[in-house]
Structure 1
C-alpha cells in the first residue's frame, strides 16, 4: 500500500463524505477507494469511517487521523514545492479559484496568454464567489476582489491590482426617472445590488465638495454582477459595478455615469495563497504575470473624465 496515496484518498472521501464522489474526482473505481480505506484502517488498527446504508461519518479516531493526514500531506506538498523551486522551472498543475465574473471576463483572457508562454503547465480553474478552504480543497491560490476575510493565519493575501467602480444607469432610465444630484437622492431610486461586492448595498459617492455613503435598496439583488449589468442596461435601475464589467456597454453608449464629477470607489484584487516558506515557481510566476497583465487591463478609466 502507498501510504501517502491512501491518506489522500481518505482525505477526499472525508471531504466529500462519499466513496463514489471521491472515486469520481480521483478518477479511480469505487472498489479501489474502498480497498484503500480498508487497508488504511487495518494499518492504523482502528475504524476511521462509520458506514451505514444512508450516510457516512467519521469516528472519533477518524476525525483525529483526518487532521493529522492534512498536516502530513501539507508537509509533503511543501517538500515537493521546495524541490520544484530548486529546479527553478514552473511545472505540474496550477489549481486556481477565482470570483465568478472576474474569472469570466478577465482571468479567462489572461490564462490563455499565460499558457502560451508556459506550455509546460496545466491549469485547473474553479469559478466560485465563495472563498474555499485552499489547503483542504487543494488550491494553489485564489483570486479575490476586495479585502478578503482570511479564515486562518496560514494564508497570505497579496494585493496585485485595483478595480474602479462606477455608479451607472442607462440614458433611458435617467430620462424617465431623473438623475440623482446627491447620494441621498439614490434612496428614491431603484438600486440594483450585486450582493457579493464588499460594498454591496452601501454605496459611496465622493464628489469634490462632499463624501457621502448611503444604504441603497431596490427590487433586484443578485449574486452575479452580470445579472445586475443586464438589468441596468435594460433601464430597470441604477447599479454600482466594476468598470471591467461595464466597459463595453459604456463604449456603446448603453450606460452612463450617474455622478459625472465623483471619484470612483476603488477595490483591490488579491492573490491569496497558503503561507509556505517556499512558494512554488508555478504560483510565483503566475502571480507576477497576472499582476502585470491586470495593470495594463485595469489602468483604463471612464473615457473623457478628468476625475477618473
Structure 2
C-alpha cells in the first residue's frame, strides 16, 4: 500500500473528522480509507486515531504524527506547485466558497469562460453563506467580503473587486409609495433588511450633504441576498443589494435605483486562501482571471 497516499488519507480524515469525507475527496471507498490509516498504524506500531461509530479523534501519538504529516504534505505540494507553474496547465477540482449573491449570471459566465480556457479544471462551489474553515474543510479558495486584518496569519486575502451596493425597489412599489428624497426618509418606507444590520440600528451613508445617519425598521429581514432581491422584485419594499446581483434587473427596468447620489456600504471582494509559499496553478490562474474580468467590477 502506498504510504504517501495513506498519509494524505490520514490528513484528510483528521481534517474532516470522517473516513467517508476523506474517501470522497480521494475518490475511494470509506473502507479503503480506513485500511490506509491502519497501514500507517501497523507501519508505526502505534494507534493514531480513536474510532467510534460517529467520531474520530487523535491519540497523543496521532497528534504528533499529524503535525509532521501536515507540514511534510504542505511542503511537497509547494514543490509540485512551484514546478507546475511553469510546466503544467491548471487541472483538478477547485473547491470554492462564495457569497450567496454570487449565484448570478455574471459570475456563472466567469466560471464558464475560465473552464473554456482551462478545461481540465472542475468546480466544486459552496453557496451556503457560512464562514467556512479553509484548512479543515479542504477549500482551495474563498471569495469573501471581509476585513483582511481579521483573518489571522494562516490566511492571505487578495483584493479582487469593489462591491457596490444600491438601494433599489420595483417600479410598482415606487409608484405606490414614492421615491425617498433623502436617507432620513427611509424610516417612513417599507424596507427589506439584511440580518447583519439589527432593526432600528443607526447606519450611515455618504450623501450630498456629507455623512448622514439614518434608521429603518425592516418589514423583512434575512441573511440571504437572493431572497431580498426576489422580495424587492415583488414590490415588498426597498432593499440594499450588491450591483453584481441586480445589474440585469436594473438594465431591464424590473428594479430601479433610488438615492443614486448616496454611497451605501462600499466594500471589497477578496480572494482568501491558505498561506503557502506557492499557490497551485488552478488557484493562481483563477484569481488572476477574476481580477481581470470586468463583469465583477460593478
* TM-score, length of structure 1 as denominator length: 0.83
| Equivalent residue, structure 2, for 1:102 | 102
| Equivalent residue, structure 2, for 1:84 | 84
Q: How far, CA to CA, are the matches of 1:283 and 1:113 in structure 2? A: 15
Are the equivalent residues in 2 in contact too, given 1:192–1:220 (CA < 8 A)?
Answer: yes
Q: How far, CA to CA, are the matches of 1:202 and 1:251 in structure 2? A: 31
CA displacement at 1:173 relative to structure 2: 2.4
Matching of residue 131 in structure 1 with residue 136 in structure 2? no
CA displacement at 1:258 relative to structure 2: 2.8
Correspondence 1:229-240 to 2 at 5 A: 229-240=229-240
Q: How far, CA to CA, are the matches of 1:147 and 1:297 in structure 2? A: 23
Are the equivalent residues in 1 in contact too, given 2:166–2:260 (CA < 8 A)?
Answer: no
Are the equivalent residues in 2 in contact too, given 1:9–1:33 (CA < 8 A)?
Answer: yes
Matching of residue 259 in structure 1 with residue 259 in structure 2? yes
| Equivalent residue, structure 2, for 1:219 | 219
* Aligned CA distance change for structure 1 residues 257 and 91 (closer, same or farther; 3 Å): closer
Q: How far, CA to CA, are the matches of 2:174 and 2:127 in structure 1? A: 34
* Aligned CA distance change for structure 1 residues 42 and 149 (closer, same or farther; 3 Å): farther
CA displacement at 1:292 relative to structure 2: 1.5
Correspondence 1:78-227 to 2 at 5 A: 78-87=78-87, 89-148=89-148, 150-195=150-195, 203-227=203-227
| Equivalent residue, structure 2, for 1:26 | 26
| Equivalent residue, structure 2, for 1:49 | 49
Q: Secondary structure of the equivalent of 1:158?
A: strand
CA displacement at 1:144 relative to structure 2: 1.9
Gaps (5+ residues) in structure 1?
301-308
| Equivalent residue, structure 1, for 2:285 | 285
1:46-94 C-alpha deviation (Å, 9 max, x unpaired): 2222223454333333334333332222112111111112426434443
* Aligned CA distance change for structure 1 residues 98 and 54 (closer, same or farther; 3 Å): closer
1:97-134 C-alpha deviation (Å, 9 max, x unpaired): 32232144433210111121223434433334223232
Are the equivalent residues in 2 in contact too, given 1:161–1:268 (CA < 8 A)?
Answer: yes
Q: Secondary structure of the equivalent of 2:4?
A: helix
Q: How far, CA to CA, are the matches of 1:92 and 1:260 in structure 2? A: 43
Gaps (5+ residues) in structure 2?
none
| Equivalent residue, structure 2, for 1:63 | 63
* TM-score, length of structure 2 as denominator length: 0.85
| Equivalent residue, structure 2, for 1:303 | none
Q: How far, CA to CA, are the matches of 1:90 and 1:18 in structure 2? A: 28
* Aligned CA distance change for structure 1 residues 194 and 68 (closer, same or farther; 3 Å): farther
| Equivalent residue, structure 2, for 1:297 | 295
**Structure 1 runs, 4 residues or longer, greater than 6 Å off:** none
Q: How far, CA to CA, are the matches of 2:52 and 2:280 in structure 1? A: 41
Are the equivalent residues in 1 in contact too, given 2:100–2:226 (CA < 8 A)?
Answer: no
Q: How far, CA to CA, are the matches of 2:82 and 2:224 in structure 1? A: 38
* Aligned CA distance change for structure 1 residues 215 and 5 (closer, same or farther; 3 Å): farther
Q: How far, CA to CA, are the matches of 1:256 and 1:99 in structure 2? A: 23
1:24-49 C-alpha deviation (Å, 9 max, x unpaired): 44321222122112122223332222
